[in-house]
Amino acid sequence: MSGVLDGKVAIVTGAGQGVGKAIAEGLAGEGAKVVVNDVGVTLTGETENASAAEEVAAGIRKAGGEAAASADSVADWDAAQKIVQCALDNFGRIDLVVNNAGILRDGIFHRLSPEDWRAVLDVHLFGSFHVSRAAAPHFRKQESGAFVHMTSTAGLIGNFGQANYMAAKLGIVGLSRAIAMDMQRFNVRSNCIAPFAWSRMVSSIPTETEADKDRVAKLKRMTPEKVAPLVAFLGSDKASGISGQIFSVRNNEVYLFSQSRPIRAIHRGGGWTAVALAEQLPGAFGPSLTPLERSADVISWDPV
């Protein structure tokens, strides 16, 4: 390892297994002292293994790194303060926050319950805000720090039966950009990563068709460890000047995603009526309208 994070202290939420665990271990391998945060729940949010965070932290320490465990919930404002305090109590500072914690409550939109809507946003979107906001005053005071938030191509592009997850993940993109703009003056950076990796979060993908089975087989070749190097880079001083961006990791590929900008306009001197729009808008905008594709349709080539 290069040691690009020597002297840094990182918090990784949802680090009890999967992508979060791989990130925590990867950051420790690069020299960071890591707070491993996980409440130890199932994919849908029920308690499963309350000692998950300590098990990962113990593994890091056994490998020669420094780590502390936190089992506080990102979905609770007061608990999020404790996650950041864990870093301060154990290592004296905080330099990097990786917002990775998440759950799934998939359901077709017309059957999606308010409870399942709120549960997913509470962990993904509100959780990312809670932990980021808890760390922000410390970053401001020391005039340095980095946030890395896990978004998803489900939010950036789309997927079936995931309105709650899509809304949360696209909301995280807006949150990250707002942080990047508001805290730029304090030398604080904020970026997003949409990871492609076989983990618990994607293991729920249906495999009813041959196309879905082929997609899952390809995902299984994308290990969570592939995501950690980009997180380490974005959390290091070597990423100075990179903020407000959206990246993706897909096996050995790293992508930079575009962000919304106007692509076409029509003007009418006297203003518009519904009839005038019906006559002109479809022809003018039609070729540029974004199709209703899911991420597997857009990023359909084999990973390399």
* Distance of alpha carbon 104 from alpha carbon 169, whole angstroms: 12
Q: What's the pLDDT score for residue 118? A: 98
* Distance of alpha carbon 29 from alpha carbon 257, whole angstroms: 28
For residue 291, pLDDT over 60 is answered with yes
For residue 200, pLDDT over 80 is answered with no
Contact yes or no for 151/173 (Cβ under 8 A) = yes
Structure tokens at 98: 């990786």
Q: 91, 117, 147, 165: which one is catalytic?
A: 165
Nearest Cα to Cα of residue 41 among 162, 201, 220, 192: 201
* Distance of alpha carbon 243 from alpha carbon 104, whole angstroms: 28
Mean pLDDT of the region 94-118: 97
Of the listed ranges 19-23, 154-158, 216-220, the one predicted with least confidence? 216-220
Domain borders along the chain are 9-259
Of the listed ranges 147-151, 155-159, 205-209, the one predicted with least confidence? 205-209
Angle of CA points 95, 141, 22, to nearest 5°: 10
Percent of the chain whose predicted confidence (pLDDT) is above 70: 91
Mean pLDDT of the region 25-42: 94
For residue 211, pLDDT over 90 is answered with no
Q: What's the pLDDT score for residue 240? A: 96
For residue 144, give Cα distances in angstroms to 89, 92, 138, 141, 235. Answer: 19, 15, 9, 8, 11
For residue 155, pLDDT over 60 is answered with yes
Give the DSSP letter of residue 41: B
Domain 9-259 part of CATH 3.40.50.300: no
Mean pLDDT of the region 119-133: 98
pLDDT-derived band at 296 (thresholds 50, 70, 90) equals: confident
Using the structure block, give the residue that is written with the tokens 């799934």.
Answer: 104
255 is annotated as an active-site residue: no
pLDDT-derived band at 216 (thresholds 50, 70, 90) equals: low
Q: What's the pLDDT score for residue 290? A: 96
* Distance of alpha carbon 87 from alpha carbon 10, whole angstroms: 8
For residue 247, pLDDT over 80 is answered with yes
Mean pLDDT of the region 241-248: 98
Using the structure block, give the residue that is written with the tokens 């730029």.
Answer: 184
For residue 201, pLDDT over 60 is answered with no
β-bridge partners, 97: 11, 147
Instruction: Write out pLDDT tens, residues 47-92.
Output: 778 899 999 999 999 999 999 999 999 999 999 999 999 999 999 9
* Distance of alpha carbon 194 from alpha carbon 156, whole angstroms: 9
Contact yes or no for 204/104 (Cβ under 8 A) = yes
